[in-house]
C-alpha cells in the first residue's frame, strides 16, 4: 500500500511531539490517516501542537517525561483508553544538557541524557509491547542521529546515546520479531529549535557542505518515519535509514 491513506485508522504514539521533528512526524502520520498520541513534558506546549492539526479530535495529548518508566506506562494506558490500540510508536524525545569534553562532564547531566535518549527508548517500547503490541503486532521507529556514527567536538555524550539507539534498534528488532518491526531513522542536521545553535550561525556554509545543498527540514525525517511505520516497510526490521542529504556520503578527512 502507498499513498495518502497508508496509515488509515492506525494509532501512532510519538514522544517529544510538541515541536520540531516529533511534531512533523505526528502531522505526517495524521495526514496519512492515523490517529496520533502526542507526548511531551508540558501541557501548554502540547495544547499548541494539537491546535495545528486539521482534526484535533483524532489527536490525544499526554504530558509525560520520556525518561520515566511509570509515565511511559501511563501514556500507553491513556492511549488504549482513548483509541483502543497502539499500532506504531516513534521514540523521538531527546535531550542534550551537556556540551564539552567527556572528561569534564558531571554525573547529573550525563545521567539525564542517558535516561531520556537511551533508557527512554526501552521504557516506551516495553510499555507499548506489554500493553498492546505483544498480542497485536506493530511497528517501532527510533530517532537516532548520524552523530551516533561520528566523533565530534562537544557533543560526544549525546552522540554516544544515539549510538546506543542504533544498537538498541537491532536488539529490539531481534527480540520482538516477528510480530513487531523495529527500525531507526538517523537524521543529519535538521532545522529545529533543538539544533538552532548549530545551524543558525553558519547555515549557508553548512548547506554547501551537504551534497544535496541544504540542511534538512523536519518534514524530511517525517516522510521517512511514515514509510517505516507503514506496510510499505513490511519486510524491513533492524534497519537504520539515514536521512542526511548525503552528509555521510562525503569523502572523509574533510575533503569536499
pLDDT band for 227, please (50, 70, 90 cuts): very high
DSSP state letter for 235:
T
State the pTM of this model: 0.93
> Count of residues for the chain?
256
Q: Which residues are catalytic?
A: 158
Q: Give helix then strand counts, H and E, for the chain.
A: 10, 7
Please tell me whether residue 242 adopts helix, strand or coil conformation: strand
- For residues 123-146, give the mean pLDDT: 98
Angle value at C-alpha 92, between 90 and 95, nearest 5 degrees: 160
> Which of 162, 155, 74 lies closest to 117 in space, CA to CA?
162
Per the prediction, the chain carries an average pLDDT of: 93
Q: How far is CA 28 from the centre of its chain?
A: 13
How far apart CA 156 and CA 24 sit, in angstroms, is 27
| CATH architecture of residue range(s) 11-236 | 3-Layer(aba) Sandwich (3.40)
How far apart CA 161 and CA 107 sit, in angstroms, is 14
- Residues above pLDDT 70, as percent of the chain: 94
* pLDDT higher than threshold 80 for residue 176: yes
Q: What pLDDT was estimated at residue 207?
A: 83
Q: What pLDDT was estimated at residue 202?
A: 76
pLDDT band for 196, please (50, 70, 90 cuts): low
pLDDT band for 107, please (50, 70, 90 cuts): very high
| Assigned C-alpha cell, 179 | 510480530
Q: What pLDDT was estimated at residue 200?
A: 62
How far apart CA 182 and CA 171 sit, in angstroms, is 9
> Which of 192, 184, 187, 138 lies closest to 164 in space, CA to CA?
184
pLDDT band for 1, please (50, 70, 90 cuts): very low
How far apart CA 88 and CA 10 sit, in angstroms, is 8
Please tell me whether residue 87 adopts helix, strand or coil conformation: coil
Amino acid at each position: 500500500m502507498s499513498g495518502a491513506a497508508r496509515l488509515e485508522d492506525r494509532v501512532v504514539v510519538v514522544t517529544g511531539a510538541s515541536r520540531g521533528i516529533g511534531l512533523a512526524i505526528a502531522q505526517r502520520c495524521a495526514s496519512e490517516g492515523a490517529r496520533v498520541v502526542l507526548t511531551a513534558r508540558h501541557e501548554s506546549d502540547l495544547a499548541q501542537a494539537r491546535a495545528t492539526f486539521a482534526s484535533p479530535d483524532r489527536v490525544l495529548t499526554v504530558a509525560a517525561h520520556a525518561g520515566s518508566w511509570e509515565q511511559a506506562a501511563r501514556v500507553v494506558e491513556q492511549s488504549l483508553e482513548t483509541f483502543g490500540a497502539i499500532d506504531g510508536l516513534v521514540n523521538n524525545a531527546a535531550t542534550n544538557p551537556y556540551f564539552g569534553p567527556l572528561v569534564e562532564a558531571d554525573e547529573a547531566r550525563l545521567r539525564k541524557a542517558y535516561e531520556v535518549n537511551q533508557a527512554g527508548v526501552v521504557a516506551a517500547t516495553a510499555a507499548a509491547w506489554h500493553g498492546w503490541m505483544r498480542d497485536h503486532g506493530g511497528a517501532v521507529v527510533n530517532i537516532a542521529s548520524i552523530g551516533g556514527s561520528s566523533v565530534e567536538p562537544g557533543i560526544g555524550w549525546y552522540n554516544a546515546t544515539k549510538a546506543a539507539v542504533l544498537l538498541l534498534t537491532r536488539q529490539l528488532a531481534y527480540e520482538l520479531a516477528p510480530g513487531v518491526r523495529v527500525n531507526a531513522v538517523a537524521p543529519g542536521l535538521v532545522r529545529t529549535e533543538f539544533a538552532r545553535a548549530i545551524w543558525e550561525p553558519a547555515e549557508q556554509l553548512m548547506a554547501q557542505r551537504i551534497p544535496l545543498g541544504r540542511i534538512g527540514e523536519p518534514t524530511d525525517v517525517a516522510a521517512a518515519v511514515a514509510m517505516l511505520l507503514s506496510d510499505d516497510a513490511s519486510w524491513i526490521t533492524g534497519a537504520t535509514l539515514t536521512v542526511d542529504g548525503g552528509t555521510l556520503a562525503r569523502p572523509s578527512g574533510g575533503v569536499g
